[in-house]
Structure 1
Amino acid sequence: MPLETPRRIVTELASRGYNAEREAVTLLARTSDPAAALERALETVPEDALKLSAAHVRSVLDSRDPAPDPSSTSDPDADAASPPPTPDPSPSVDDPSTPSTSDGTTPVEGDGGTAAPVETGGSGNRPRTPQAAAIAGDITGRSTGTGEYGDFVTVFRDRYERLSRKLTGRVNHRPTTAVSNMPGGEETALVGMINDVRSTASGHWLVELEDTNGVFPCLVLKDKPIADLVDELLLDEVIAVEGSLSGDGGVLFVDSLHFPEIPRTHRPNTADRHVQAALVSDVHVGSQEFMGEAWSRFTSWLHTEEAAPVEYLLIAGDMVEGVGVYPNQDEELSTIDIYDQYEEFSEYLKEVPGDLEIVMIPGNHDAVRLAEPQPAFDEELRGIMSAHDARITGNPSTVTIEGVNVLMYHGVSLDEVIAELPEHKASYDDPHLAMYHLLKKRHVAPQYGGHTRLAPEERDYLVIDDVPDVFHTGHVHKLGYGKYNNVLAINSGCWQEQTDFQKSVNIDPDHAFAPIVDLDTLELTIRDFN
């Protein structure tokens, strides 16, 4: 049977009763004929050996086939200092703690770890492979939008109906037509999509809410405690308000305002064994500033015993730098052709241990449509990146690994949130704070018509229907993490040094960090490979 991927190599070894070191699998996978290389290695392995070592494989390849450059899997000690300290989360957060150990400290280095135990089968020790990731919310193959007016009506109606269900149990709401017919002074509630927000001459806030029946004005007085929430509102998000009607019944004076929210009672799922996932994004292969050496230090570390519990690698978009993404980008490219960029990315991906389960979504620099939700890479690009048998899905998608639900979203709408909200509530320096607002709104891109391109579909794939356990984004090239109502939010930075374009827009990237999540506890360790 042809052995086209590292996963197939692991499976074949297991069927013959052998375990293998991660580096051994990677070396075999990178040969021109993995099947033949494996046969040669097994023909010469000592009879009493149950584990195929990297040293043995390398000796076999040296004698019959040129081996890959061993420097790509060296330097196992390449982990380093702590990331920059994360400021205190927003006061609106129910659980403001950042990921911590049992003694309350924030881990920034691993505790040494131990090798993942092997399972035993009838034919001897067998290597354990990760459970296959389950994917939900993927637009790939389901896109129906044509750009006609009816598509926009459909997607916004779907958004309203699904998000309003998360609010109707909390307020005794009525449709706008019923509220319009109520006498003045009555108490009532509305659930609606924000049509407009503007200040009055007196400094109060007028919020127009729209449901499937019409539009109704709601007034938030400037001296009300909830007035501070108005600057968090984005057009097209769905909220609920409660209050009393004016004397003529034409305006609702708002006493309370509610978001769809993550329930404060949320208790995240965890794995039933000690297993870890590495969360990275924004690799940007093809850029002159791509940090290839740092990436190789990361992949070399993945081959060490310390990294043995890491069985999953989740990449949240921008595998390559792309072409024509921003003005004069060609002047900052090391590789001009987009397909050559993916070929190079595939070579770097081969450095990752063969027994890792890899899940990838696209980003705005990748060769897919820009409008969100983004479908996964097409068959031609999948073929280029097939060496690792990675799971390739759309942006956004919810990936379930070891029972833990990870919402993966590249993060373009974070630009929108940061631009619209006050700096103390959302900023590029603290990207996780902007992520909290997406969780609060239960939508990864609530505002239409701004920085974020959105595609109208029959269903709004950007609604956060189910509460994730982990929320993983990238895009802004900044490291940030924290917990919002027990959801672990992580923006994982990038693998690209500052470009001239980034300098022009004041982006100072956090690069070469690898957040490692313990799936059994949801504790977080940040590895630094600079």
Structure 2
Amino acid sequence: MPLESNARIAKELARHGYNAEREAITLLASAPDSAAAVESVVDRAPDDALRITSDHVRAVTNDRSVSDTDPTSSGTDPTSSGAGPNASDPGSTSAAADLTHESPPARSGSGSPSEPASTRSPVETEGSRSGLVDTTDSNTDDTTDSNTDTADSNTDNTTDNTTDSNTDSAPHHDPDLRELEVGNDMTGRSTGTGEYGDFVRTFRDRYERLSKVLRGRVNHRPAEAIAEMPGGSDAAMIGLVNDVRSTKSGHWLVELEDTTGTFPALIMKDKGLADVVDEILMDECLAVEGTLADDSGILFADSLHFPDVPRTHRTGGADRHVQAALISDVHVGSDEFMADAWSSFTDWLHTPEAEPVEYILLAGDMVEGVGVYPDQDEELEIVDIYDQYEAFAEYLKEVPADTEIVMIPGNHDAVRLAEPQPGFNDEIRSIMDVHDAQIVSNPATVTVEGVDVLMYHGVSLDEVIAELPEEKASYDEPHKAMYQLLKKRHVAPQFGGHTRVAPEERDYLVIEDVPDVFHTGHVHKLGWGKYHNVLAVNSGCWQAQTDFQKSVNIDPDAGYAPILDLDTLDMTVRKFS
């Protein structure tokens, strides 16, 4: 059986309820009678097994009844002593038919390609057409030139590499080489009750942590101390933005608040700060430097400072060549879930070309959810939320079992809408226990072999895009909106708008440590670029355009998988739809 059938073997095992390691599937593919081997492995798997391992396969393929190369011997021969079912049993041919058919059975879902998923080669792409408009200079080397060899082999030679490779020579993953740590996970640590005092603690923590970043740049004085200073003095204040408004003369008045009180700063229109003022959001932390008026009642601003990411930020990297797939917004349960694209992606994961992909980082919205937007019930293929997670778990079984998966929730998932969002409850976790994914809170920082990846679903991107000028934040270039969050060192700075914030003793939404990679989803658009050496990636979705999206003019980028080299932080975006 050719190696390209690995994906079909994985699907057949998934049909029986099993996830499988890459090595196990490789061994099954190299068996003289793969169909019989699959049947025997399923038949002899322990009752409590959730995944098929290489040890399970070896126990079967070492049995002469299955692995014997004598042409007169077969695992389905009635005279065979093997563990496989008798050839006269009608069910004994079902697996063989599925595994040897030229094209796998058609899958449901919108946006399905016309050709069988197993015959298509994933296509290299430079990302969304608009995603490179302003990032070519800074990101061309990272995402195009440095991957020239990969692109040449992946786009032109995928079929040859897949069919000609020797199954025995394919490298296997060594779990001992992997390093994965999760930080900032607040699952099980929520303390907020929604009372006023909880909100005070959250914003006080935000102020304290972000003001520390700014104090090295300005000679900060508390609001009450500035009010006591003589007129004409130079002064600087760090505070949360309490108000921003324009005056009749075209100037801007910004009121800052710290733990001692509030103080106004006037930004004159002739100071050349207009380009900075239009980036200010309510409740974010900001520093203002300037000169006090004669009556000390107002600070005339000369400069503004955001907490920002240092331009000198140095990124980490893995000690070996290993990759992570950055995906989000699968939306299983929707009429528009692109099952064929997902199948094409998981098929590719079983090819030698995808051997370095040992991690999948999924940034929320595993399922479509229920009651998220008006008339959503009319666009659901699966109505019950638990059934949606059951279906998602089945699709997850197609992913090689030895792939490390980390996922965070999104606004369509069955968790609270207010951020930070804790990971799923035990009932939903138990539904997805086959793949043993790490399910953590939104947001969370995942350190993968020395690379710090900040995962955030991205609901606040809607607010940033709505508030800021189009050239600085838009749905067509979602990574630019992500730049703004990095500049503000907070994933959801504005309170009281579309983004719901849950009060906690600690503000888990602060970007205290600078990440190497910032990964979001939510807006269903593909875009990436670098901001002060931080790679910002919005990974698109796996859902075709819904009627609701049409009504709000969202044209999704669906069926893409950014593949990140963890050793170099180069990235290749693959298209599977």
Give the TM-score normalised by the residue count of structure 2: 0.81
Partner amino acid for 2:552?
V
Per the alignment, residue 41 of structure 1 pairs with 57
Q: For the structure 1 residues 451 and 27, does the alpha-carbon distance in structure 2 shift closer, same or farther, using more than 3 Å as the test? A: farther
* Superposed CA offset, 1:286-325 (max 9, x none): 0000000110000000100111111101110000000000
Per the alignment, residue 55 of structure 1 pairs with none
Partner Cα separation in structure 2 for residue 359 and residue 99 of structure 1 = 28
Check conservation: 1:410, 1:475, Cα contact below 8 A. yes
Pairing partner for 1:506 from 536, 550, 553: 553
Partner amino acid for 1:234?
L
Asked if residue 490 in structure 1 is aligned to residue 501 in structure 2, the reply is no
Partner amino acid for 2:122?
D
Per the alignment, residue 78 of structure 1 pairs with 121
SS in 1 for 2:273: helix
Aligned residues: 509
Q: How does 1:83-102 map to 2 (within 5 A)?
A: 83-87=127-131, 96-98=138-140, 100=142
SS in 2 for 1:167: helix
Asked if residue 340 in structure 1 is aligned to residue 393 in structure 2, the reply is no
Partner Cα separation in structure 1 for residue 148 and residue 272 of structure 2 = 33
Q: Identity of counterpart residues, as a percentage? A: 61
* Superposed CA offset, 1:169-210 (max 9, x none): 111110001100111111111001000000001000000000
Asked if residue 428 in structure 1 is aligned to residue 475 in structure 2, the reply is yes
Asked if residue 356 in structure 1 is aligned to residue 398 in structure 2, the reply is no
Query: CA RMSD, aligned part only?
Result: 3.6
Deviation at 1:45, TM superposition (A): 2.7
Check conservation: 2:443, 2:457, Cα contact below 8 A. yes
Q: For the structure 1 residues 455 and 277, does the alpha-carbon distance in structure 2 shift closer, same or farther, using more than 3 Å as the test? A: same
Partner Cα separation in structure 1 for residue 574 and residue 217 of structure 2 = 42
Q: How does 1:317-332 map to 2 (within 5 A)?
A: 317-332=364-379
Per the alignment, residue 451 of structure 1 pairs with 498
Q: How does 1:289-438 map to 2 (within 5 A)?
A: 289-438=336-485
Per the alignment, residue 54 of structure 1 pairs with none
Partner Cα separation in structure 1 for residue 391 and residue 40 of structure 2 = 16
Partner Cα separation in structure 2 for residue 307 and residue 484 of structure 1 = 28
* Superposed CA offset, 1:349-405 (max 9, x none): 000111110011000000000000000011000010111111110100001111111
Q: For the structure 1 residues 40 and 67, does the alpha-carbon distance in structure 2 shift closer, same or farther, using more than 3 Å as the test? A: farther
Deviation at 1:139, TM superposition (A): 1.2
Check conservation: 1:109, 1:527, Cα contact below 8 A. no
Per the alignment, residue 297 of structure 2 pairs with 250
Pairing partner for 2:174 from 101, 118, 128: 128
Deviation at 1:76, TM superposition (A): 6.2
Check conservation: 2:240, 2:256, Cα contact below 8 A. yes
SS in 1 for 2:362: strand
* Superposed CA offset, 1:77-130 (max 9, x none): 431252433455769x9x8435625847889947449999x9x9xxxx974136
Q: For the structure 1 residues 105 and 231, does the alpha-carbon distance in structure 2 shift closer, same or farther, using more than 3 Å as the test? A: farther
Partner Cα separation in structure 2 for residue 189 and residue 89 of structure 1 = 37
Check conservation: 2:359, 2:403, Cα contact below 8 A. yes
Q: How does 1:51-200 map to 2 (within 5 A)?
A: 63=85, 67=95, 69-70=98-99, 71=104, 75=118, 77-80=120-123, 82=125, 83-87=127-131, 96-98=138-140, 100=142, 103=145, 109=151, 111-112=153-154, 127-129=173-175, 131-200=178-247
SS in 2 for 1:407: strand
Check conservation: 1:89, 1:97, Cα contact below 8 A. no
Partner Cα separation in structure 1 for residue 252 and residue 39 of structure 2 = 65
Partner Cα separation in structure 2 for residue 424 and residue 208 of structure 1 = 26
Partner Cα separation in structure 2 for residue 324 and residue 511 of structure 1 = 22
Per the alignment, residue 212 of structure 1 pairs with 259
Q: For the structure 1 residues 102 and 426, does the alpha-carbon distance in structure 2 shift closer, same or farther, using more than 3 Å as the test? A: closer
Deviation at 1:227, TM superposition (A): 2.0
Q: For the structure 1 residues 268 and 457, does the alpha-carbon distance in structure 2 shift closer, same or farther, using more than 3 Å as the test? A: same
Q: For the structure 1 residues 274 and 448, does the alpha-carbon distance in structure 2 shift closer, same or farther, using more than 3 Å as the test? A: same
Give the TM-score normalised by the residue count of structure 1: 0.87
Asked if residue 270 in structure 1 is aligned to residue 317 in structure 2, the reply is yes
Partner amino acid for 2:142?
S
Structure 2: gaps of 5 or more residues? 1-16, 68-74, 77-81, 87-91, 106-115
Check conservation: 2:143, 2:572, Cα contact below 8 A. no
Partner Cα separation in structure 2 for residue 32 and residue 438 of structure 1 = 52
Per the alignment, residue 326 of structure 2 pairs with 279
Check conservation: 2:423, 2:442, Cα contact below 8 A. yes
SS in 2 for 1:386: coil
Partner Cα separation in structure 1 for residue 202 and residue 517 of structure 2 = 26
Per the alignment, residue 224 of structure 1 pairs with 271
Q: For the structure 1 residues 498 and 135, does the alpha-carbon distance in structure 2 shift closer, same or farther, using more than 3 Å as the test? A: same
